[in-house]
Amino acid sequence: MISLLVVFIALMIGIAYLLLLRSYDIYEPEPFSVMLVIGAAGGIISVTLSLLMYLPLNVEHTFYDAIFKIGLIEELSKYFAFYMLFHFIRNQVDEIVDGLIYISCIALGFATIENVMYAFGSESPFFVLAMRAVTSTIGHMAFSGSIGLALYIHQRVHRNYIGIVASLIYAILAHGVYDGLLFEHETLAFYASFILMVYTQWLVLKASLSFSHFRPQFSKDLFETKDHTKKSFCSNCEIAVVNPEIQFRKLKGSYCHQCSHLLFDVKNWKKLMKYYRPISSRSKRIPSTKGPNDPAGQFQLKMREIYNFKNGHASVHPYHANHWLESVNIADQERILKRPVIGWILQSIGFRKAKGRIKPSEDLNF
């Protein structure tokens, strides 16, 4: 009975993380059923490959073995599992962030099986599941994300052998450092490195989203008109407006018939910026209108002609804002690619030649 409960809880933890992972794929979410199958199949394949590679080895709890045996074997196993399954989901893997999503599904499947194995071997199985749900399960996904991106670029964009090797090195080192610090009982260093790994993976995810070619162009046509009205303020015309509410995803606003601007309060403006500028920090989601040009230096209209803030409300010209958002998103990409650590990682795994939106090429066949 306890064994069945352990398996059930481990599966529920895995499914919860799978749903959370899918929620990050904001432009074209992957079918949950496909993610579930890839997670299960990839987990079984990667765990089986790992166990076979472990057979001839004697693994000790040392920093050396953590990197050159455990990290090497388990990250190579996830890579080969993704490589083997890529052909079956080729049509689904149609934007760069999908590479990260599906390798994370495989890593999640691997972690789920591993969690069950460790729980079965413990006198406190539920405590083990709880601890590993917070650390190793997240860790496995954080270790392997760059592998999926590098393989996507190689399979769908351009040859990327160097990027694949680099991504494997990062994954193996991250995994090895994680296990090595645990073996050495360096608790403070372990948690510090774990947080750094997860944060780095979060930045990689946001950078991948910014290169998506499924992000829709900003326009009034995106918004659905609701039956009820909304009281707003047009900061362009400086008048109060009561018009039908408009909504796109979780973004709600209104429309000014006098100047044809879309109207948002600050809360919804931040949602708009988060959706269209996934890399931008919170401090940049309300950029200044004082400068004559946009932050990218490419859009020549005065900022007030694109958007205007007054009394906690923003008015946005949809046509001008679309071009401005595209421009600053490219500026965001260039900025993150120049950052000391994360930029070097992204460029080395294959983002070096990328700019704008990374689209798949149907001509590649490796």
223-240 pLDDT, tens digit each: 999 988 888 888 888 888
Lookup result for tokens 């790994």: 197
Q: How many C-beta atoms surround the C-beta of residue 51 within 10 A?
A: 12
Cβ 254 vs Cβ 232: under 8 Å: yes
62-65 contacts, C-beta under 8 A, 24 or more apart? 62/180, 62/183, 63/176, 63/180, 63/183, 63/184
Q: Residue 321 contacts by C-beta under 8 Å, 6 or more apart in sequence?
A: 218, 262, 306, 307
Query: pLDDT-based confidence at 293, cuts 50/70/90?
Result: very low
42 vs 288, which has greater pLDDT? 42
pLDDT at 49: 97
Average pLDDT over residues 202-209: 94
Minimal CA–CA distance to 199: which of 174, 163, 169? Answer: 174
Helix (H, G, I), strand (E, B) or coil at 293: coil
Q: Alpha-carbon distance 74 to 90, whole Å? A: 23
Q: Mean of the pLDDT values across residues 80-99?
A: 94
pLDDT band at 309 (very low <50, low <70, confident <90, very high): low
What sections of 121-239 are H helices per DSSP?
125-134, 136-156, 161-183, 187-210
Q: What is the DSSP letter of 286?
A: S
Please give the structure tokens belonging to residue 135: 């650390």
Type of residue at 199: Y
Residues 261-272 pLDDT 10s: 899 988 898 899
